[in-house]
Structure 1
């Protein structure tokens, strides 16, 4: 049986059932249920359900402004929605909000830093390059999975190549390629979690130059 906060549809009956259950849930858990339900709807990628998800997430921000545990994830998911709607500028805005909030409340981390960085590089928004470089350099020591290292090192290679620092760019390119080819994660109990299953042509075209 599907949990009441994990619906993949949003009929009138679905909505009534969800909010009836929500009203009986503990107050300190309601934002979490709203967020989970929103994410479930985002995963369908259906335009009408994306709008519903957006409303649920905005409800969290409006009615639970002091809920720090879910806020960065709410901003991140709003970024995902705008990205699916091909509204790149708005997506970047919300990923940045998520990143900025995580600086204030670092207890919960999302992948906003990486999606934001990819969007800046792939859309060649050079006025943001410096902030991306600083952001990624700060995250290197926290990276666990080969897929994240592959993307971060690829982006740093591109940024250094853009800044004519070709030797540094080459070093990052080699690290990116090394992680792309990693067969295990290096983690004892999750050996194959986070390995690169499909390389990114945009990144690899740059790596090939180096």
Structure 2
């Protein structure tokens, strides 16, 4: 049976049951339930359910402003909502808010840095390139999975290409290509976690030297 805060639908009965159970839940867990329910609705990519998810996340951020554990994830998910809706300006803004919060509260980190990076280069926000390179280089040593290495190295190649640094651009492009062909994650019990299943054609085209 699906947990009450993991619904993929939002009929009147869903809404009523969810908020009834939320009101009976422990206060210190309510922010998390709102966030998880929103993420479940976002996963459907249904426009109407995206609006519901947005309301749930805004409710969480407004009513539980001191919940540091769930805040960056909520901001990141709002970024996802706007990205799906192709409102890239707002998406970039929320991803950046998530990133900024993670510098203050680094105990919980999301993939906001990666989605932020992709949108910045894909929308050609040249004014953000220097800051973006700094963010990626700060995270570089902590990259674990081939998919992350593929995307980060691709983006660093694009950034260096834009600055005219062809040698650096080539170096990162080669590293990105190496990550694509990496067949295992290197983890003992999760050998195939985070390997590249599908190339990003948009990124690949931007990387071409």
Instruction: State the TM bucket, normalised to the shorter chain.
Output: over 0.9
Instruction: Give the SS at the match of 2:6.
Output: coil
Alignment CA distance shift 1:173-1:49 (3 Å): same
CA–CA distance in structure 2, aligned partners of residues 23 and 201 of structure 1 = 46
- Return the offset for 1:11: 1.1
Instruction: Calculate the TM-score normalised by the size of structure 1.
Output: 0.97
Matches within 5 A, 1:139-158: 139-158=139-158
Listed as ranges, the gaps of 5+ residues in structure 1 are none
CA–CA distance in structure 2, aligned partners of residues 84 and 208 of structure 1 = 26
After superposition, give the CA deviation of every residue in 1:93-149 in whole Å (9 maximum; x if it has no partner).
100000000000000011110101100101111011011100000011111000000
**Alignment-derived partner of residue 4 in structure 1:** 4
**Alignment-derived partner of residue 134 in structure 2:** 134
Instruction: Calculate the TM-score normalised by the size of structure 2.
Output: 0.98
Alignment coverage as a number of residue pairs: 209
The 4+ residue runs of structure 1 with deviation greater than 3 A are: none
- Return the offset for 1:85: 1.1
CA–CA distance in structure 2, aligned partners of residues 48 and 199 of structure 1 = 30
**Alignment-derived partner of residue 87 in structure 1:** 87
Alignment CA distance shift 1:66-1:116 (3 Å): same
CA–CA distance in structure 2, aligned partners of residues 159 and 65 of structure 1 = 36
